[in-house]
Chain A
Amino acid sequence: MDKLVEIRGLTVDFAQGGRSIRALHGIDLDVGAGEAVGLVGESGSGKSVTWLAALGLLPGTASIRGSVMLDGRQMVGAPRSMLETLRGRRVAMIFQDPSSSLNPVFRIGRQIGEALGLHRGLKGAAAEAEAKRLLDRVGIANGARRLRDYPHELSGGMNQRVMIAMALAGEPDLLIADEPTTALDATVQAQILALLQEIRHESGMAIVLISHDLGVVAENVDRVCVMYAGRLVEEAASDTLFDRPRHPYTRGLLAALPALDGPRTRLVSIPGSVPEPWNLPKGCAFAPRCGEADEACHGSQPPLVPVNAAERVLCFRTRYFPDAPASQPQPVPALQDAAFREAVL
């Protein structure tokens, strides 16, 4: 598979009140042409920062080091004018809260038209016709009328469709979808995810799906990267990762998810909480919460190493559970409420 984006050693520091806080500790990550990659992690894990840094969208207080190659061109440290020709054209991005991601004082048509003018040189009637086609493409009926609407006149789901239409305007090779459905209702989330899948299969565009929701990622990508405290801790094909998670953090996340069917069992929670970026432990950032951690884990930072051709894990202890199935909590029969109570307590 052709590499579209190649990230190496990406580091981001934020200057904050006279000190420098490291948000990203050297990320290595590739995205192939037409591939769907999922990036999961909790808030502050660095999953959004990675891509905002790659596109130069972080505020001036951020200092970025490392390398982001897009089609053989270096994006880190590139002049603003070069980044501006790539944004929207080669890599487009959509965000978490669609309703505030659109400019409130301009009509939808003008906002899509702006992207069409920038990337495809379309103006006037040609731009309007194309904008209408794009709205139709993202499943917005009555496009001609919707083009004259303001964002506040549309629902959140509709606005996210508009964001997607705007992203498609530049015919990009890669779409970064940063928590695209987190602010939306369940049924609307399903619509948007289905739309993204459909567009990807039709256009061959690669997608990076950033989400805190393991379910969203599991159903929509080929490959998953798990991030924790500014580092990539596990990377594997989607099925491999969810069937045989290796990193204790990934295992913990999966065990903490309540099931939608079958017997109810007490959730296995990960103790403690995510460390603050300015207060990271000395060794592995997950060690204080990890049941498997030993002295080595507390003493030094494990590297991200390949387990095989398709899997990488950042953990000293991985060798103790090679290819073991995920530790599933024992299901307890819970037909009666009383039994359920006893089982979960």
Chain B
Amino acid sequence: MFGFVASRVARAALTIGFVVTFAFVVLRLSGDPAMLIMSVDAPPEAIEAFRKAWGLDRPIWEQYVAYAAKALSGDFGNSMRDGRPAIELVLERVPMTLAITIPAFLIKIGLGIPAGIFAALHRNSVLDRLTMTVSVAGFTVPSFVLALLLVLVFSVQLGWLPSSGSESWQHAILPIITLGVAGAAVLARFTRSAMLEVLGQPYIRTASAKGVPWRRVVSGHALPNAAIPTVTIVGFMIGSLIAGAVVVESVFAWPGVGRLLVASVANRDLAVVQAILLAIAISMVAANLAVDIAYGWLDPRPRRGRAHA
């Protein structure tokens, strides 16, 4: 058990390190923050001074070593725009993002899983086809299109809900629906196929043959097995609670982490971008770890490996 956890943690650390390094290199090669942050007509000496102040004049590997050393001690640098610690800027946006992603996550689970189960149990019925058509539409339509569509209907035509901003709880409704519907569609499709696969297994027939009522065959025998593959995608959804709303936040002008990311990339506010990517990587890796542990708990079968002597 210790070996298992240790190897997973080591792999997770490696993944995070790789993400941070990759982002560091790409960001520094893709544009000069000094040119973007300083005004266009700033004197060359001022720009040079800015570069020197942020260490941008040094070779990239030196910058990297300095960054990594600081990061290991918990200092992720300061924003080039307002000089505040990058991590602080990111953390204060997290609650705003979670305010829309967590309700959206609940919609995905609450709508997607039951819809998938229902469709599987009524395979090839009119309702199954309808559910699956809606689901295909739900995840093929890009989220910004869906968002604009919702704005068109509920804000412009009906005037029921605000189209952007974050002043009241009503402002959160359209972003939540946009995120939730797309995710629910994916989850419904995934759950349906997992469920269909399980319902065709011999042990389901065994359960029926021994007199287990159908409802209990579904809830007691089929669901625990169908949950095993479904956990992977739910884990991915949990992992993207922080990062999964970039487009939607931009469309609805919702001041969350995603919007901060877009703005910071545009400005080459390197420390902030790095901090956000780090947060995303950590949440993804943590979710993955949780999925692995959930697997071991849901499925007693070992995953076998075989090698040549």
Contacts and interface: CB of A to CB of B under 8 A. Distances in A.
Interface of A: 55, 57, 60, 80-81, 84-89, 92-93, 95, 97, 100-106, 114-115, 118-119, 150, 152, 163, 166-167, 169-170
Contacts of A102: 203, 206
B205 A105 contact: no
B210 A92 contact: yes
Nearest to B217: A84
Interface in B187-214: 201-203, 205-214
Nearest to B304: A152
Contacts of A89: 211
Nearest to A85: B211
Contacts of A60: 123
A57 B203 CA distance: 12
A87 B208 contact: yes
A165 to B, nearest CB: 11
B155 to A, nearest CB: 44
B224 interface: yes
Contact of B202 (A55, A84, A86, A95): A95
A100 B214 CA distance: 19
Given A105-B298, A105-B299, A105-B300, A114 B201 contact: no
B211 A170 contact: yes
Contact of B225 (A55, A88, A104, A166): A104
Contact of B301 (A55, A84, A115, A150): A150
B93 to A, nearest CB: 41
Nearest to B122: A60
A97 B206 CA distance: 11
Contacts of A163: 206
A95 B205 contact: yes
In the A-B complex, list the 10 residue pairs whose CB atoms are closest, starting with the nearest: A88-B211, A88-B210, A87-B211, A93-B209, A103-B203, A101-B202, A150-B300, A101-B206, A100-B202, A115-B210
A84 B214 contact: yes
Nearest to A93: B209
Interface of B: 123, 201-203, 205-214, 220-221, 224-225, 228, 298-302
21 contacts: A57-B208, A57-B209, A80-B214, A81-B213, A88-B210, A88-B212, A89-B211, A92-B210, A93-B206, A100-B203, A101-B206, A102-B203, A103-B225, A104-B225, A104-B300, A105-B298, A105-B300, A119-B211, A150-B300, A152-B300, A163-B206
Contacts of A80: 214
Given A97-B202, A100-B202, A152-B301, A105 B211 contact: no
Contacts of A169: 210
Residue of B202, B209, B220, B228 most packed against chain A (CB within 10 A): B209
Residue of B208, B298, B299 most packed against chain A (CB within 10 A): B208
A115 B211 contact: yes
A104 B299 contact: yes
Given A80-B214, A84-B214, A55 B203 contact: no
Contacts of A105: 224-225, 228, 298-300
Contact of A87 (B209, B225, B300): B209
Contacts of A170: 210-211
A170 B203 CA distance: 18
A55 B210 CA distance: 11
B299 A55 contact: no
Nearest to A15: B124
Residue of A60, A84, A95, A100 most packed against chain B (CB within 10 A): A84
Nearest to A80: B214
A266 B202 CA distance: 39
Nearest to A115: B210
A97 B224 CA distance: 21
Nearest to A105: B224
Residue of B201, B202, B220, B302 most packed against chain A (CB within 10 A): B202
Given A81-B213, A92-B210, A103-B221, 10 more contacts: A84-B212, A84-B213, A87-B209, A87-B211, A101-B202, A103-B206, A115-B210, A118-B210, A150-B301, A166-B206
Nearest to B208: A57
Nearest to A163: B206
A85 B206 CA distance: 15
A166 B210 contact: yes
Contacts of A166: 206, 210
